[in-house]
Amino acid sequence: MDLYDELPKSELLDTLEFSLLLEAAIQYNVSLVEFISLNARDLARLLRRSINEVAKFQRLLILELEAQFNKKSQPVLLPKSQAPELFSTGDLGLDEALGGGIYTQCITEIYGESSTGKSQLAMLLSLCVQLPKSLGGLEGKSVYITTEGDLPTERLEGIINSNETFSSNGVSQEKIFTVSCNDLINQEHILDVQLPVLLDNSKGSIKAIIIDSISHHLRVELQSTSYKESQENRHYIDILAEKLLLLAKKYNVAVIVTNQISDKPLVKLSEPMQQDLLDYEYQLGWIVGWKDSSILYRQRYNEPTLSSQNEITETAILSDDEDYQLVEKEMKKLIKAEEKKFWSHADGQNNKEDTKDSKANVKDRPKIEISSNSGHKRKVDSRIPNLGLSWSNHISTRLLLKKMYKASPMVRRGEMHLYKGNDTSAFWQVKRAMKVVFSTFAPDSEVSYMITSRGIESVQ
C-alpha cells in the first residue's frame, strides 16, 4: 500500500481501526489509486473486508486528500509565483555561457575528468552566492557537502584573499556550512535528515547547496548484478534527484553537484551494424557533450564499409584535431631541416676529409634527437558522467570541464626550429574549457578558462 508515499502526513496511517484494512491492501496489491477510483463495493470485494469499513475509510481518505491537496494544488498566476533566481559566477564569460549565472530551484551538474577544476568551480560558487545582490550574488549562505576528504579551507581562504570583491564584501568561510560524508549511509543521512533540518532552521538564508561529488559513494555501492538490482538503482537515483529538487524549490536554493566520470570504450562488433537515430549510443555523445568528430566517429565505427575505406574514414573524421596536425607538420619540417643540415654539413666535411669516413656516415643514417611522436593526439572521447540517464533527466544544466592540449605559441609562430631540447611537451600548452552541454537557461556553448589564485577566470 502506497499511502505513505502518496500522503506522508496522513492520519489514517496511524489509525488503529484501519490497520487490518491496510494490511489487506498490501496483501492484495491494492493501492491508493484504487481507493479513489473504484467504488466501495468493488474495493470491498478486492480487499475481502466489509463494505462498511471500506466505505468509511474511503470517505475519510477523500476528505484527507482534498484537505492536503486542495491548498497545495491550487493553480497560481505565474507572475505571483516564485521564479528561479540567479547568482553570478563573478566572471563575465562564464555568466554569459550560463545564461546569466547559476539558477536556484534546479540542479546544475559539473562533470569532468580529475584535475579539470570541478572542485575549484564548486568552491568559487560557494563564495559567489554570498555576495550582495548589487554585485550579482544572492546574499546567501552555502552548504558544502564533500565526499572525498574535507573542504580545502586554505584554498578557499586563498581565493577570498586574492579577490578584492570577496574580501571587502564580507564573503567568508564562516558562511559556508560544511560536512563530509565517508560512506553512502552517511551521505543518505546528511541528505535526508541533516540538510532538510538545516534548511528549515536557516529560514531562507541558505542559497546554495554544493555536493562534491554526488557519485563518489554511489559508484561503489550501486553495482548491479541483476535486473531487479539495476531497477532499484535507477529508482534510487530518481529518488535522490527528486529529493534534492524538492528542497531546491521549497527553499529557493541552487543545487550544484560535481559528478565523476566513467569510461564507455569503443567496442568493435563482429558483424557490421549501422546505428539508428533512436539508438541510445547514437544520441549519447550529444547528451554528454563529446566533440563532434568523436560523435560521428563512434556512430560510424561499426558501419559496414569496405576495409580499405575504414582507415580513410578515421583520418577524415578525426581530422578536426588541427593542432595535432600543426605540430606534426612543424615536426616534419624540423626533421627535414635537420636532415638537410646534417647532409650539407657532411658534404662540407667531405671536401676536407677522407672519403671513407663520409661513406660510413652515409650508412649511419642520422639520428634526429626529437622523436617523431609528438604526443597528445586528442583521442576519441569515451568519458561519460556517472549515474546515467536517470540522473541526467533531472538536471537542468550540465557543465563539462575539460583539459585539452593545444599547440604552444612557439609552434604557432612556426619557431619550432629554435627549440633546443628533446622534450615534446614544450610544443603543447594546456587549455581548459567549460562546455555548456545543455541548459534550460542557455544554448550550448564553450568557454576557455584558467585556474588562477582567484579561482576560475574565463579567457578569450
Partner 1 sequence: MSLGISLSQLISSKIEPIKSGIEELDECLEDGFQSRSIYEIYGPPGIGKTRLGLQVMSNFVNDKSRADEKVLWIETYNTLPVTENNFSDLLESEQVYRVEITKITELIVFFNKIALNLEEYSFKLIIIDGFSVIINDHLNNILKRSETDITNEYNLHELKCKRLILLLTVITKYTHSSGSTVLLLDNCMNTAFNTEFNLTTVEDNLEVVDDGSNFFVKNNGANSNIVYDTTGIKRNVQVLKSELVSNVGIGTRDSRWEVFIKARIGMFWDWENKFTLDNKRFKADFSKCRVMIVSNLQEMASNKDKENNDTSFSSSFSNRYSQNKGQYLVKIFPNDDGYFTSTKPITNGQRKKRLISPTKSNPRKRHTPFIDGQSTQVGESTQNSTQELQQSENSMILSIDTTANQSVSNPQDDEVVYDSEG
Question: In the window 263-282, what residues touch partner 1 (CB under 8 A)?
Answer: 263-264, 267-271, 273-282
The yes or no reply on residue 10 touching partner 1 (CB under 8 A) is no
Tell me the closest approach of the beta carbon of residue 17 to partner 1, in angstroms.
21
Q: What is the DSSP string of 320-341?
A: G-HHHHHHHHHHHHHHHHHHHH
Tell me the closest approach of the beta carbon of residue 430 to partner 1, in angstroms.
24
Enter the DSSP assignment of 129: T
CA–CA dist 153, 147 (Å, integer):
15
Tell me the closest approach of the beta carbon of residue 141 to partner 1, in angstroms.
21
Stretch that binds partner 1, among 134-142, 167-175, 225-233, 405-413 (CB under 8 A): 225-233
Q: Which is nearer to partner 1, 72 or 420 (CB)?
A: 72
Q: Which is nearer to partner 1, 125 or 240 (CB)?
A: 240
The yes or no reply on residue 204 touching partner 1 (CB under 8 A) is no
- H or E, element range at 455: strand 455-459
Helix, coil or strand: residue 267: coil
CA–CA dist 176, 327 (Å, integer):
46
C-alpha cell at 98: 550560463
CA 332 from chain centre, in angstroms, equals 39
By rule CB under 8 A, what string of x and - marks binding of each residue 420-459 to partner 1?
Answer: -----------------xxxxx-xx---------------
Q: Which is nearer to partner 1, 274 or 425 (CB)?
A: 274
Tell me the closest approach of the beta carbon of residue 112 to partner 1, in angstroms.
15
The CB-based long-range contact list for 443-448 (8 Å cut-off, 24+ gap) reads 444/289, 445/97, 446/97, 447/93, 447/94, 447/96, 447/97
Report whether 260 contacts 213 (CB < 8 A): yes
Residue in 262, 358, 424, 445 binding partner 1, rule: CB under 8 A: 262
| Residues that contact partner 1, how many (by CB under 8 A) | 111
Q: Which is nearer to partner 1, 105 or 146 (CB)?
A: 105
CA–CA dist 242, 235 (Å, integer):
10
3-state secondary structure 161-218: HHCHHHHCCCCCHHHEEEEECCCHHHHHHHHHHHHHHHHHHHCCCEEEEEEECCCHHH
Of residues 369 through 398, those in contact with partner 1 by CB under 8 A are 384, 386-390, 392-396, 398
Helix, coil or strand: residue 31: coil
Place of cell 530518481: 238
The yes or no reply on residue 316 touching partner 1 (CB under 8 A) is yes
Residue in 225, 351, 355, 460 binding partner 1, rule: CB under 8 A: 225
Q: Which is nearer to partner 1, 16 or 306 (CB)?
A: 306
Residue in 20, 50, 59, 83 binding partner 1, rule: CB under 8 A: 83
Tell me the closest approach of the beta carbon of residue 31 to partner 1, in angstroms.
6
The yes or no reply on residue 164 touching partner 1 (CB under 8 A) is no
Q: Letter for the amino acid at 41? A: R
Tell me the closest approach of the beta carbon of residue 28 to partner 1, in angstroms.
10
C-alpha cell at 105: 530551484
Residue in 19, 182, 205, 319 binding partner 1, rule: CB under 8 A: 319
Tell me the closest approach of the beta carbon of residue 266 to partner 1, in angstroms.
10
CA–CA dist 401, 111 (Å, integer):
6
Tell me the closest approach of the beta carbon of residue 205 to partner 1, in angstroms.
20
Place of cell 571587502: 168
The yes or no reply on residue 219 touching partner 1 (CB under 8 A) is yes
The yes or no reply on residue 325 touching partner 1 (CB under 8 A) is no
Stretch that binds partner 1, among 39-47, 71-79, 155-163, 445-453 (CB under 8 A): 71-79
CA atoms within a 13 Å half-sphere pointing along the CA-CB vector of 296: 11
Place of cell 631541416: 337
Of residues 229 through 258, those in contact with partner 1 by CB under 8 A are 229-231, 233-235, 237-239, 241-242, 245-246, 248-249
Q: Letter for the amino acid at 301? A: Y
Q: Which is nearer to partner 1, 221 or 353 (CB)?
A: 221
The yes or no reply on residue 224 touching partner 1 (CB under 8 A) is yes
Report whether 272 contacts 302 (CB < 8 A): yes
Residue in 312, 337, 430, 459 binding partner 1, rule: CB under 8 A: 312
Q: Which is nearer to partner 1, 1 or 129 (CB)?
A: 1
Q: Letter for the amino acid at 121? A: L
CA–CA dist 270, 293 (Å, integer):
23
